[in-house]
A and B are shown apart, each in its own frame.
Chain A
Amino acid sequence: MNRLRFVFANAVKQSRRLKLDCFAALAKTRFMESVQVSALKNRSLRANGSFSDNFRQILVASIVICLYACTPRPPEPNPSTSQPQSELAAPATALAEVLAYQKSLLDNPLPALPLELTGEAAAAQTLALAHPPLAAQLQMQGSKLRAEVMAAYPLRITDVVPDIESCRNNRCFRIEVYDFARNTTLIGTADLTLGKILSWRADAGRQAEVPMRLKNLAITLAISSNEVKEALGGVVPKFSDAQMASTKSALNSTRCERSKHLCVAPTFVQGNIAIWAIVDLTDFKLVGVQWTNVGERAKTGPTAPPSEQSLSDAAITANFCDKNTALERLGWKLEYLLTASDGLQISNVSFQGKPLLNSAKLVDWHVSYSERDGFGYSDAVGCPSFSSAAVLPFTAPSVTEIVENGKSSGVKLEQEFRSLGWPGACNYSYRQSFEFYADGRFRPTAGSIGAGCGNDGMYRPVLRIEPHGGDWTFASLNQDQFEPVLQERYFDVNAETDATGARFRLKNSAFEFQIEPGRGQFALGRGDNEWAYVTASKPGRDEGSSDLLTIGPCCNKDFRQGPEIFLDAKPEALNGSLVFWYVPQLKNDDRPGHEYCWARNQIVAGVIKAQAFPCVGGPMFRPINPGAL
């Protein structure tokens, strides 16, 4: 039934589109041919000077134009490509298409992948691809960038500017080359009469119209995806079902604005629903799928079509900001959600049916730079919109298996946050995770992936862990002995740990944990050099359990990282209810081979990819007697 409805709706849409195409083609043809024919006549007029002869010619030409323009005929092939429309026939699988395409990129010895062209367009393309400045432009870090010729067509007289003045009289072509790495279109002018390239211009951020081969690839990727199939009620669409496949994001206000990749949006119409599949042609992947109501646009006025950002934000907001998600694995049971400014928060955490934590979250990131006194940022992480987050989630939280010594031992709940320009200068990426192990261990972590504003950066994430219940005791190591902590207080950085790595102990009637700070024993960590705090928690009083505003400045180097605001001038007794705060201090490093809290761009397969060197801090809570749990 779905299929029938889809085919029917599609057929109607197709006929409407053809009708529109006919008018557009007629208008275009009329204009182009009148210009060409009249240009010929102009030359003829000047050469012969006989107005009556020329008048007859013009008359005949006009009649021909009228008759030609009014005769229905198939759409004109795209002048920039030799591939006819009929090539929109069923292609091979998406993977085969991508592999074939990538091979064509690898095998291509020219600075940019050429189009299959004939005649003058081919000659113009040859001139462009042989022009040394183009090859120089399409290099970075000694690597050739991925680039393609997207179009080659006769230069319009309106495009003639002073530096290509010869094109007023000569036969000139405009060549558009898209630089996938920099998301830039290079526009060249080829003067075929002179046989040379007159100029190049780089339009950063502008994307050229995609040629047929990329169009085909986008449709193949879309129809091969499970997401599109699911959106269509389990029906795999035919290749010919895709509408507007050539509608590049730019034309349709649809962008991959975060990745700054070239994206197109094959659209499938089912009844009055349009299903947009956003395909990333830089990374050869489906970005996402969204349904929009075709009729809704008419009712509510123009709205922007879905884009990479809108798809991502809508999905994250709906599923992880406005509601809790339950997670139950390996004896652990909890809920998680993204907060407005305290990162990913877990709540109602229990292990083996016994309540353990009220909540745990990441309140702030404080970033300072040692060589610039007072310079830095206090960043909050949280929901992508309607939040006070400065660094945002681009993807949903993930749950992955933890493998230790070749065996599955736990699960990791993780969320990454990014600035839009990461890893560019003064942009950040943070990773927050909670590790839960089958043996009762758990570890909240905060990680930075740089790159920030310099190589002198110090990252101080503020972690807050609130145990459940009112019968907890807390102890800290003091000269080989764990001594009870009775009042709220902070603990100096980098204090000793015992032989097992423990610095604190946390105990109630159901659990007994030792708390092990990072001293280089955990993956991606070189030591936490942490500030720690334990504060009293009283029923009916908010000790930081609600979404917190920024609680500390960027650049304090001492214990004043924010949690101290919950330490009263006269320290309160803990009395069984407490909150544990943990602030690792992670110093970045950009030395080759030693990178830490760092990221840099590198060229991979002709496009820019981030090379990440994370640093991660956070305490491990290890049951002292796992068998008792």
Chain B
Amino acid sequence: MSKRKAKVKRAESNQVIVKQVPPKAELLQARQWPKFLALSLILAFVVLAYVMTPNSQKPQLKLGQSAFSPRNLCKAPPAFMRSLSANEGFGPGSALSTSERDLLGLAVVEFDPQSGQRLRSWQHPSWRSAGNLSAFALDQRGDVYVIPAPRVNLLENPPAKQSRLYRIDGNTAEMTLALEFPVAAAVSQRNPFAGLGLSYDCALDSLFLSSVAGSTPSEQRGLVFRIALRPSVKVASTLAGIDIFAVTSFANEGGSALALGSARNAEILQISLDANGNFPPGAVATPLLSIAGLGPEGNDRARKIDVAGDGTLTVRGTRFAYNLAQPSAQEKATSYVFAFDAGLQSYQFQRWTK
């Protein structure tokens, strides 16, 4: 219990005393001034209580007590990472990366935390076969799923091979085609992208994948898929007609839902899933958050959304305009943090960082 709350209680007891003055009618007719005085007294106590309370004990927003909770905490590191640690000298800071400029596809990399220089890298030969890759997701068995996306040019990422999901076996590190997902229209140089967002849902043992294949400047023809991983990899449910970049599932009081970062603008939407984790017929995504006007450029797209255990949402933003212009190599991604305000019952923007 905060000090302020205790003081407010004292103010409340004063209020009780005030109520012991003569009846209301009498007050109205003859004692207007004492009433005003009493109200002022209450106000004064409230002001005094507020100001005398040390700053650190002043009521803070009740942040982080969210209605949202993550659904990917079961994800497991691939077994091949352990053998890389044992045999190749990779340390605990090693990570999977699809964004190394000089390494096509996926790579295991380790950076020096002090200098930021890359210390070592490793690639399974199959990891280069799909060209440049973008999002990846780990499942509860330590398998890695990854989608391709062109970078700078289409030389390594021909349009015909973009609507694909690849699986990397957690034990052998071998990458194989897992699924070719449907597209509204063929990928082309007018819109060279297909899959953009990918995340894993533990409870459903499924991936959520977003694709913008076939979309045009005037028409959103993107799809969001739930892809069941067992017994075989297949599309289980589809949301059509919306261009989405980031896609992340979360649990809330109503069950489960998706947070969807629009590929068209800076908005983040949400859509509820049914009890089976599928898109209910006719379901429409509704606004959740926006990163418009935030960050150094004010016009990012949400490329990844992380739901922390306390419900905090971290949105990673990027420039995206359906072209192959790349941020410079030195440029760090912008993270936007939103925390749940229990008082307002909504997420509030906290800060952005590079």
Contact = CB atoms under 8 A, between A and B. Distances in A.
A253 interface: yes
A378 B297 contact: no
A425 B101 CA distance: 14
Nearest to B156: A550
A253 B323 contact: no
Contact of B189 (A62, A377, A388): A388
B57 interface: no
Given A309-B299, A392-B323, A549 B43 contact: no
A420 B325 contact: yes
A304 B47 CA distance: 39
B288 to A, nearest CB: 11
B291 to A, nearest CB: 9
Interface stretch (A35-43, A351-359, A481-489, A529-537): A35-43
Contacts of B190: 340, 386-388, 547
A419 B321 contact: no
B56 to A, nearest CB: 11
Contact of A254 (B40, B267, B298, B354): B298
B323 A34 contact: no
Contacts of A58: 44, 47-48
Determine the interface band of chain B, counting residues with CB < 8 A from chain A: 35 or more
Contact of A388 (B48, B192, B217, B267): B192
Interface stretch (A18-26, A109-117, A244-252): A244-252
A361 to B, nearest CB: 13
A313 interface: yes
A390 B293 contact: no
Nearest to A553: B155
B191 A386 contact: yes
Interface string B149-164: 0101111001100000
B61 interface: no
Interface string B320-338: 0111111111110000000
B293 A157 contact: no
Nearest to B329: A426
B321 A59 contact: no
Nearest to A390: B324
Contact of B293 (A62, A253, A310, A419): A253
Interface in A23-68: 34-35, 38-39, 41-42, 55, 58-59, 61-63, 65-66
A41 B48 CA distance: 9
Interface string A411-436: 00000000111001111000000000
Nearest to A252: B293
Interface string B23-60: 00000000000000100110110011011100100000
A391 interface: yes
Nearest to B286: A301
A549 B326 CA distance: 18
Decide if the interface of chain A is mainly helix, strand, loop or mixed.
loop
Contact of A384 (B189, B321, B329): B321
Contact of B323 (A35, A41, A303, A386): A386
B23 to A, nearest CB: 25
B41 A377 contact: no
A35 B55 CA distance: 12
Interface string B261-279: 0000111000000000000
Nearest to B48: A58
A375 B326 CA distance: 17
B48 A391 contact: no
Contacts, number: 163
A42 B40 contact: no
A389 interface: yes
A55 B42 CA distance: 12
Contacts of B326: 390
A59 B40 contact: yes
Contact of B324 (A63, A309, A388): A388
Contacts of A34: 47, 50-51
Given A304-B266, A386-B216, A254 B293 contact: yes
Contacts of A426: 328-329
A389 B324 CA distance: 5
B157 to A, nearest CB: 9
A176 interface: no
B321 A425 contact: no
B240 interface: no
A58 B154 CA distance: 72
A380 B298 contact: no
Contacts of B55: 157-158
B328 A420 contact: yes
Contacts of A59: 37, 40-41, 44
Interface string A448-470: 00000000000000000000000
Contacts of B267: 301-302
B322 A62 contact: no
B105 to A, nearest CB: 16
A388 B159 CA distance: 11
A365 B193 CA distance: 21
Contacts of A158: 55
B294 interface: yes
A550 B189 CA distance: 10
Interface string A593-628: 000000000000000000000000000000000000
Nearest to A427: B328
A379 interface: yes
Contact of A386 (B40, B295, B322): B322
Interface in B175-206: 188-192
Contacts of B287: 301-302
A270 interface: no
A190 to B, nearest CB: 21
Given A302-B287, A386-B216, A307 B40 contact: no
A41 B265 CA distance: 51
Interface string A226-270: 000000000000000000000001111111010000000000000
Contacts of A137: none
**Of A39, A58, A379, A384, which is in contact with the most chain B CB atoms at under 10 Å from its CB?**
A58
A377 B323 contact: no
Nearest to B296: A205
A385 interface: yes
Contact of A206 (B189, B296, B322): B296
Contacts of B155: 378, 549-550, 553
Interface in A297-353: 301-305, 307, 309-310, 313, 317, 322, 340-341
A283 to B, nearest CB: 18
Contacts of B329: 426
B159 A549 contact: yes
Contact of B299 (A304, A392, A419): A304
B248 interface: no
Contacts of A309: 299
B324 to A, nearest CB: 4
Contacts of B41: 59
A66 B42 CA distance: 12
Interface string B99-139: 00010000000000000000000000000000000000000
Contacts of A553: 155
Contact of A421 (B150, B191, B328): B328
A390 B47 CA distance: 59
B153 A388 contact: yes
B283 interface: no
A250 B328 contact: no
B211 to A, nearest CB: 16
18 contacts: A35-B51, A58-B47, A61-B44, A205-B295, A205-B297, A250-B298, A255-B297, A257-B298, A302-B267, A304-B265, A317-B217, A384-B321, A386-B217, A389-B323, A420-B319, A420-B327, A425-B328, A427-B328
Given A41-B51, A340-B190, A549-B155, 11 more contacts: A58-B48, A254-B298, A255-B298, A255-B299, A380-B324, A384-B321, A387-B323, A389-B324, A421-B328, A424-B328, A547-B190
